[in-house]
Amino acid sequence: MYHQKPILGIVVPCYNEEEVLSLTVEELDSVLDKMEKEGLVSSESFILFVNDGSRDQTWPLIEDLKGRYERVSGLNLAANVGHQNALLGGLMTAKQHADCLVSIDADLQDDVRVIRDMVLRYREGCDIVYGVRSSRKRDTWFKRTTAESFYKLMEGLGLRIVNNHADYRLMSRRALDELARFTEVNIFLRGMVPLLGFQTGVVYYERLERAAGESKYPLKKMINFALEGITSLSVKPIRMVTAAGFVVFAVSIVMAIYGITSNLMGKAVSGWSSLIVSMWFIGGVQLLSVGLIGEYIGKIYREVKRRPLYIVERELPPAVRRKAVDEAKSDHRKELDPVLSL
């Protein structure tokens, strides 16, 4: 059952975001204020900033913003654990206080105005609503090409993934409870959330320029992120290595037959070039295969150790939550007063 005025939580993972955070809270607080006045969300709705071990003044700024905005809350992680783990930590912490949660990055590149559309789709019965980019015209040719290639590769490997969707989405508490049952430590939420099923919706938006600060995802991190996603959710790459092994073996058999036949027929074959090429080719395939197998073994190693994905150092609840608790206690007292006076 979906509430007419759901408690909406907005989870914002932050890593060295002191330059943009003040703008972010203004935009998000304004969105919640408008939706509350429209009667779309509860007055208990809140914003949760998750500090992922920032090295700048992000956490002190979150503490300051909490004192100035009733809806702001904070979660300070004890160490930097990466975007996906920090986001998951925020979702798992906030889900107990909300009917639905929206996850969004702090840089304001995702259009906050479509949060309203997400809530409307939620009220229509969707447990998951994806924010999808309508175009990539603002991206450079290189970024656009690599991103499109990544999504095509993921689809080719048989993974359920939403094209041009990052981590801008709404999830109901029911969907979040099911996500909590996923116990792996190799986290790739873009691929995990579609595995949940449930009724889903999509809202489209135009991605904006970063409001302030610098991107926290340089090329090296993007490559690592893509590799993490592929190897965390699919075993097809390792099957492709097996297939490549059979192909190389078949080619070697053909070459062996060719060599024996040439010698029996008395043909002089130099063989130097083909030998060198074969050695380099087989050596490259072997190194690639060992590296890929090592990647999977490394993931098994992490899974077996079962280390926590994140450790919370401190949580700051929003003032609206405390106010709601105080009001509930006050209403309860009023109900008891006539009884106690008898």
Please report whether residue 221 resides in a domain. no
pLDDT of residue 109: 87
Judge if 251 and 205 occupy the same domain.
no
pLDDT of residue 222: 61
Judge if 260 and 319 occupy the same domain.
no
pLDDT of residue 207: 79
Please report whether residue 276 resides in a domain. yes
Please report whether residue 226 resides in a domain. no
pLDDT of residue 165: 79
Judge if 153 and 291 occupy the same domain.
no
Q: What is the layout of strands, in order, in the sheet containing 46-51?
A: 200-205, 128-133, 165-172, 100-103, 8-14, 46-51, 72-77, 312-316
pLDDT of residue 282: 72
Q: Which residue has the tokens 């600060």?
A: 213
pLDDT of residue 134: 77
Judge if 48 and 182 occupy the same domain.
yes
Residue 260 corresponds to which tokens in the numbers above? 């024996």
Judge if 274 and 288 occupy the same domain.
yes
Cβ neighbours of residue 274 closer than 8 Å, sequence gap 6 or more: 255
CB 66 within 8 A of CB 18: no
Domain count, the chain: 2
CB 65 within 8 A of CB 21: yes
The residues facing 75 across adjacent strands are: 50, 315
Judge if 169 and 252 occupy the same domain.
no
Give me the helix-helix angle, 236-264 and 272-305, nearest 10°: 160
Judge if 97 and 156 occupy the same domain.
yes
Please report whether residue 131 resides in a domain. yes
pLDDT of residue 11: 94
Cβ neighbours of residue 56 closer than 8 Å, sequence gap 6 or more: 16, 18
End-to-end distance of the chain based on CA atoms, in angstroms? 40
Judge if 14 and 36 occupy the same domain.
yes
The mean pLDDT values, 10 residues at a time, for the chain of 342 residues are 79 91 92 92 93 91 90 91 89 91 90 92 92 73 67 66 82 92 80 85 81 56 60 62 67 64 60 60 69 70 71 81 53 50 48
Chain centroid, CA 332 distance in Å: 41
Q: Tell me, what CATH number does 164's domain have? A: 3.90.550.10
Please report whether residue 220 resides in a domain. no
Domain containing 326 equals 8-215+311-331
Please report whether residue 323 resides in a domain. yes
Please report whether residue 30 resides in a domain. yes
pLDDT of residue 35: 92
Judge if 41 and 108 occupy the same domain.
yes
CB 135 within 8 A of CB 105: no
Judge if 186 and 147 occupy the same domain.
yes
Judge if 243 and 208 occupy the same domain.
no
Judge if 119 and 189 occupy the same domain.
yes
Chain centroid, CA 138 distance in Å: 22
3-state SS, residue 18: coil
Please report whether residue 167 resides in a domain. yes
Alpha helix ranges (H) inside the chain? 21-38, 58-68, 83-94, 115-123, 141-156, 173-179, 189-192, 219-233, 236-264, 272-305, 319-340
| Closest residue by Cα to residue 194 from 154, 145, 223 | 154
CB 43 within 8 A of CB 119: no
